[in-house]
Amino acid sequence: MIRKAEVKDILYIEKLEKTVFKRSLGEKFLLQELTNNPFSHYFVYQKGNKVIGYIGFRAYDNQAEMMNFIISPDHQNEGLGEELLTYSLDYFTHLDIKMITLEVKKSNKKALYIYEKLGFKVSHIRKEYYDNEDGYVYVKEVF
């Protein structure tokens, strides 16, 4: 089930981030995003009573920027990431969002595959954006 993220999900989100990325945006940042930032839009993928993935955006004017996107390693390759991203894209069409941007490591082949499959295009490269690794900036026009 995909639903809007709630404060009770922060510890699960933080754990997912640390498992996948080896670091987290942090409890304080996530709390701010979920409670006090009118531009934030976060969703979780819940299976049973466990949060196994999440995606977060900041939307302003007619564009949105992806902050983070994670599916638990135990549930990757099940189509859940694509489902969560597709849900988000549909959600943003109702908010009159026209463009979505994101950054991703050049080495993240699974993410690159999903983004390209769903119509994202490489805009440019950010040299050493992720410590010593380049990042792609992807853009998708939403209608």
Using one digit for the tens of pLDDT, what is the confidence trace for 33-82? Answer: 999 999 999 999 999 989 999 999 999 999 999 999 999 999 999 999 99
What per-residue confidence (pLDDT) applies to 130? Answer: 81
Give the global pTM.
0.91
**What is the torsion angle, in degrees rounded to the nearest 10, for the CA atoms of residue 53, residue 119, residue 122 and residue 128?**
10
Per-residue model confidence as pLDDT tens digits over 76-111: 999 999 999 999 999 998 888 999 999 999 999 999
Please state, in angstroms and rounded to a whole number, the distance separating the CA atoms of residues 65 and 67. 6
Per-residue pLDDT at 34: 96
DSSP 8-state symbol, 85: H
Reply yes or no on whether the pLDDT at 143 is more than 90: no
Residue 34 CA to residue 130 CA, distance in Å, equals 25
For residue 27, count other CB atoms closer than 10 A to its CB.
12
Task: Note the pLDDT of residue 90.
Answer: 92
> What is the pLDDT, as a whole number, of residue 117?
95
Q: Residue 122's pLDDT is what? A: 96
- Phi and psi of 6, rounded to 5°? -125, 165
| Radius of gyration of the chain, Cα coordinates, nearest whole angstrom | 14
- 101-140 residue pLDDT tens: 999 999 999 999 999 999 999 999 988 778 889 999 999 9
